[in-house]
């Protein structure tokens, strides 16, 4: 099959592209605007594969999207393109509204127009899979509560509110127009190729440089951590075997407080990089508590029993195995993250576009 993946140069999107190219016989059309978080170097090992194609297109540009659909004739759509950093959404909400809401609307309309003209056989195969987040559910109060597919939406940040809006649009296009859609909501992802502004890579790289490890508030915010390659396999399972109109929560079964995640990273670095930066006795000494961000949810936790029960998917990695693989990847791939930190991955791309 031909699978159109939006946001395929981002963290989760690139993992999906790599999974499809490396583990299936399907083809991928990667549609990505290449914002700051889009990095084609994350696809270095698949970019020359004949089953891979790249289109630098903004999902808000309808004419360009229509060209891509017409040219590539996808069988399935996996819509991951989104602005996704909570802090950035607080500082500048407009971009999140534009990309996550208007962009999803544009994708839905182009997909609907394309789908309506397909043969009956191809119509039956076609799926529009919208990839979302558990942050749309808001905050869990009890220590034993879990987000299920029936949990009411109560987003707290401009980011999560924009994703909640896009989820509602996707379901409305199924109900009103019959477009065959599926929604997934995932917990916090981590793993290789993660943009360094996010918690886990930021802590790894700051520690290696002897910089402060900033932790919001008391660090007791709890998240369910999902290894990105596990997430990619789950998403492929859903788009190929999931039931139209259904929602599937995808989680890692790994609830951890942020401070415990940071301390785990410090412990791994003590083992793997015992030669510390000058002036650092223990990596944990770098932990610094900073003012909490506005509207910071305290606890997220996913009930992922439905996707296990109905599609037979479970995460392969525990947090302990996944975080070790992640730390080791960053230690072994300095070229990738150093080019992100110094901006050269982006400057070279922009320079080539201007020529």
- Report the DSSP beta bridge partners of residue 213: 287
Q: What is the 3-state secondary structure (H, E, C) of the chain?
A: CEEEEECCCCHHHHHHHHHHHHHCCCEEEEECCCCCCCCHHHHCCCCCCCCEEEECCCCCCHHHHHHHHHHHCCCEEEECCCCCCHHHHHHCHHHHHHHHHHHHHHHHHHHHHHHHCCCHHHHHHCEEEEEEEHHHHCCCCCCCCCECCCCCCCCCCHHHHHHHHHHHHHHHHHHHHCCCEEEEEECEEECCCCCCCCHHHHHHHHHHCCCCEEEECCCCCEEEEEEHHHHHHHHHHHHHHCCCCCEEEECCCCEEEHHHHHHHHHHHHHHHCCCCCCCCCCHHHHEEEECCCCCCCCECCECCHHHHHHHCCCCCCCHHHHHHHHHHHHHHCHHHHHHHHCCHHHHHHHHHHHC
In the set 134, 167, 230, 303, the catalytic residue is 134
Residues 171, 181 contacting (CB under 8 angstroms):
yes
Catalytic residue list contains 95? no
Catalytic residue list contains 135? yes
Residues in contact with 290: Cβ distance below 8 Å, sequence separation at least 6, in sequence order = 214, 215, 216
Catalytic residue list contains 246? no
* Nearest alpha carbon to residue 30 among 11, 60, 3: 3
Residues 26, 20 contacting (CB under 8 angstroms):
yes
Number of Cβ within a 10 Å radius of residue 93: 16
In the set 52, 114, 137, 159, the catalytic residue is 159
Positions marked active-site? 134-135, 159
């Amino acid at each position: 099959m031909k699978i159109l993946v939006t946001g395929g140069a981002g963290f989760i999107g690139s993992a999906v592209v790599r999974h499809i190219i490396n583990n299936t016989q399907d083809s991928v059309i990667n549609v990505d605007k290449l914002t700051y978080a889009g990095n084609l170097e994350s696809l270095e090992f698949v970019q020359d594969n004949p089953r891979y194609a790249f289109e630098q297109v903004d999902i808000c540009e309808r004419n360009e999207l229509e060209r891509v659909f017409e040219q590539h004739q996808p069988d399935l759509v996996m819509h991951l393109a989104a602005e996704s950093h909570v802090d950035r959404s607080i500082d500048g909400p407009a971009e999140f509204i534009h990309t996550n809401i208007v962009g999803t609307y544009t994708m839905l309309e182009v997909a609907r127009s394309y789908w309506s003209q397909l043969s009956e056989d191809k119509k039956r195969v076609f799926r529009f899979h919208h990839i979302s987040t558990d942050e749309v559910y808001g905050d869990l109060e009890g220590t034993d509560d879990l987000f299920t597919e029936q949990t009411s939406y109560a987003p707290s940040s401009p980011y999560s509110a924009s994703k909640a809006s896009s989820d509602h649009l996707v379901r409305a296009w199924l109900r009103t127009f019959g477009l065959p859609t599926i929604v997934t909501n995932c917990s916090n992802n981590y793993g290789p190729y993660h943009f360094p502004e996010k918690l886990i890579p930021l802590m790894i790289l700051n520690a290696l440089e002897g910089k402060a490890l900033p932790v919001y508030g008391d660090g007791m915010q709890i998240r369910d951590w999902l290894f990105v390659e596990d997430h990619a396999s789950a998403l492929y399972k859903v788009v190929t075997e999931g039931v139209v109109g259904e929602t599937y929560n995808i989680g890692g079964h790994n609830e951890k407080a942020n401070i415990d995640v940071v301390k785990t990273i410090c412990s791994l670095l003590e083992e793997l990089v015992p030669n510390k930066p000058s002036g650092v006795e223990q990596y944990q000494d770098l932990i610094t508590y900073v003012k909490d961000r506005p509207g910071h949810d305290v606890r997220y936790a996913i009930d992922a029993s439905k996707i296990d029960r109905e599609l037979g998917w479970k995460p392969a990695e525990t947090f302990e195995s996944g975080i070790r693989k992640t730390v080791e990847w960053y230690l072994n791939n300095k070229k990738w993250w150093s080019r992100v930190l110094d901006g050269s991955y982006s400057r070279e791309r922009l320079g080539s576009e201007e020529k």
